[in-house]
Amino acid sequence: MKASWLALSMLVLGCSAARPKPYEEAAHAAERAYSAGRYQEAAESWLEAAAHGEPRDRQEAEYRAAASYERGKQYDQALAIYTRLAAQKGERAARALLAAAEIERRRGSEERAQSLFLAALRNHPDSGPGEIALREHVAFVKESGGVQAALSALEPLIAELDGSELDERLRYERARLLDEAGNTTQARDAYLDVARRHPYPEGALWDDALFRAALCEEKLGRPQQAIQVLEGMLLEREEAHLSGSYERARYAEARFKIAELYRDALGEPARARAEFRRVWNEHPTSLLRDDALFEEALIARAQNDQAGACRALELLLDAAPDSRFVPCAPRLCPSLKATDGRRCRDYLLRRLERD
């Protein structure tokens, strides 16, 4: 046992060995020069550090040298280093492509910048820079050629990068563009395809895709189908073992949307009230909670249920006294008194008058 512990300690010490002294000295000099605004000096010191570093440290030092040159507007020197790093396929390769693209854009060569963004997303689809490059490229094509041009640009990329980590984002962007183009049925199908290919819990855009698919169903005049999609999403909501839940960004919004659909599209106010109350009860961290109680109170008033409106607002005053809706509560329930001196905002007064 003692021998094993000694071997493990030696291994840890070997893995955490300090960098060579010349590297550390040059790196510290570079940082001091950069902080003082002496960017060329910083770049030269980083290159000196790179000459003494192991491969990983060398690439990092060269990247920081390029960034120093770039900050000093010495773009040719920066671009030369970024290009070299991009060709080495190291940890900084993807970032180097993005940085090179930004320099080309700054110098007025958008065509060259776009070729570098494409290289970044094609060569590094499983990286954060690859996703940034995709957004930059799609935005440029859309701005210069319109939505259809952006869709045409996405199709070969989807086929080429199928199965990569960028696949979900590529397909989601395609769905968004179809939605924007007014191809609502195709957009709905594309959103559902994203959620099917990248399901919970791995799919980062799974809940967003389902929520937008439901909005498409609503636009198509299919509120029941929209509710079905949203309820399907909420079925995956799971409680944490200790406290709370594994909350996705769209869960509370989905429940709130279900309530709106029952109220506005299906004409079922009682069900809508129940769904708004579920937002309050089931999503304790959501910013929509007080909105939900206010909407419940409005429906109760429309049903001539003054007691129901007051119960919802009493809960609001007790549990969320800082809510923007609290100063409006006496207008819905005269027995309640606002005590903090705030006034009911004009946009909420207009809402009260309208409803």
Give the chain's length: 355
The stretch 222-226 carries a mean pLDDT of 98
64 has a pLDDT exceeding 60? yes
254-272 CB burial, b ≥16 within 10 A, e <16: bbbbbbbbbbeeeeebeeb
Rounded to 5°, the CA angle 72-77-78 comes to: 65
- Return d(Cα 222, Cα 225) in angstroms, integer: 5
Residue 114 near residue 143, CB atoms below 8 Å: no
The stretch 56-77 carries a mean pLDDT of 96
Q: Express as a percent the part of the chain with pLDDT over 70.
A: 93
* Nearest partner of 325 among 309, 343, 307, judged by Cα: 343
11 has a pLDDT exceeding 50? no
Instruction: List CB contacts of 229: < 8 A, sequence separation 6 or more.
Output: 192, 210, 213, 214, 217
* Nearest partner of 196 among 236, 168, 176, 238, judged by Cα: 168
252 pLDDT band (50/70/90 cuts)? very high
Structural domains of the chain, ranges and CATH numbers in brackets: 146-235 (1.25.40.10), 249-355 (1.25.40.10)
Evaluate the omega torsion of the peptide bond into residue 330 and state whether it is cis, within 30 degrees of 0: no
pLDDT tens for residues 70-129?
A: 999 999 999 999 999 999 988 999 999 999 999 999 999 999 999 999 999 999 999 999
What confidence score (pLDDT) does residue 238 get?
86
- Return d(Cα 236, Cα 229) in angstroms, integer: 12
Residue 349 near residue 332, CB atoms below 8 Å: no
Rounded to 5°, the CA angle 109-63-106 comes to: 20
- Return d(Cα 337, Cα 324) in angstroms, integer: 15
141 has a pLDDT exceeding 60? yes
Does 4 or 26 have the greater pLDDT score? 26
The C-alpha R_g of the chain, in whole angstroms, comes to 28
Mean per-residue pLDDT over the chain, rounded: 92
* Nearest partner of 153 among 197, 118, 108, 129, judged by Cα: 118
240 pLDDT band (50/70/90 cuts)? low
Residue 197 near residue 163, CB atoms below 8 Å: no
pLDDT tens for residues 286-306?
A: 999 999 999 999 999 999 999
The predicted model scores a pTM of 0.87
Q: What is the DSSP letter of 19?
A: P
15 pLDDT band (50/70/90 cuts)? very low
Q: What is the DSSP letter of 239?
A: B
244 has a pLDDT exceeding 70? no
